[in-house]
Structures are given as structure tokens and as C-alpha cells.
């Protein structure tokens, strides 16, 4: 093993350690405040990593379309509620 490979492996170890430390800190903070363990924290991490990998690969990420669809549905529901209650639709509430 030459020096360049050792540096790459060291950088990879530091990055992995930082991610594990942030996950541990998040688990501690959530448990301290709520006294409930946040089990799906690992799934959130994997979802973020896969989204970043798809963005870096240049493939269209489905999360962009999902967030856009959620925003559009929310906008439609709020417009429907304002029409049903006969109140003015407020854009500032949406933004």
C-alpha cells in the first residue's frame, strides 16, 4: 500500500466517523427531548445518501418530483379550504 491509498483510506475513515458521530448526536438529542428513540433515523440517512448519489450521477432524482407534487397538492387543498370557508386565499400563508 502506497501513501496515496493510505490517504484515501484515512479520508474515508474520517468521513465515515463523522457521519456516525452526527447520527449518534441526533439520536441523543431526540431521545433527550422526547424520551423516544427515533428508529427510522438510519432510513433518513440512507435516503439522503441515495438522493445525493443520484444527483451526482446526473440522473433525474424522483425526490424533486415528489416534493413538487406535495407542494401542488397542499396548494390545491388550501385553495379548496378557502373556497369552502368563503375566505380569501392567502399567498403569504403558503410561502
Band of pLDDT at residue 37, cut at 50, 70 and 90: confident
22 touches 16 (CB < 8 A): no
pLDDT at res. 72: 92
89 pLDDT exceeds 90?
A: no
CA distance 8 to 6: 5
- The reply to whether 49 and 71 lie within a common domain is no
Instruction: Measure the CA angle with vertex 73, ends 71 and 42; round to 5°.
Output: 60
Find, among 29, 26, 65, the residue nearest to 45 by Cα. 26
The range of the structural domain enclosing residue 92 comes to 61-95
- The reply to whether 46 and 79 lie within a common domain is no
Query: What's the rounded mean pLDDT across residues 21-50?
Result: 87
pLDDT at res. 65: 84
- The reply to whether 47 and 77 lie within a common domain is no
- The reply to whether 55 and 10 lie within a common domain is yes
- The reply to whether 41 and 68 lie within a common domain is no
Q: What is the pLDDT of residues 49-81, one digit of tens each?
A: 888 888 888 887 777 788 889 999 988 988 888
pLDDT at res. 38: 83
Amino acid at each position: 500500500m502506497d501513501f496515496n491509498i493510505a490517504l484515501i483510506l484515512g479520508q474515508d475513515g474520517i468521513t465515515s466517523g463523522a457521519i456516525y458521530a452526527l447520527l449518534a448526536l441526533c439520536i441523543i438529542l431526540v431521545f433527550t427531548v422526547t424520551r423516544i428513540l427515533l428508529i427510522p433515523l438510519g432510513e433518513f440517512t440512507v435516503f439522503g445518501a441515495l438522493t445525493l448519489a443520484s444527483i451526482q450521477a446526473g440522473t433525474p432524482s424522483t425526490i424533486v418530483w415528489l416534493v413538487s407534487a406535495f407542494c401542488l397538492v397542499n396548494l390545491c387543498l388550501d385553495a379548496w379550504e378557502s373556497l369552502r370557508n368563503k375566505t380569501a386565499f392567502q399567498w403569504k400563508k403558503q410561502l
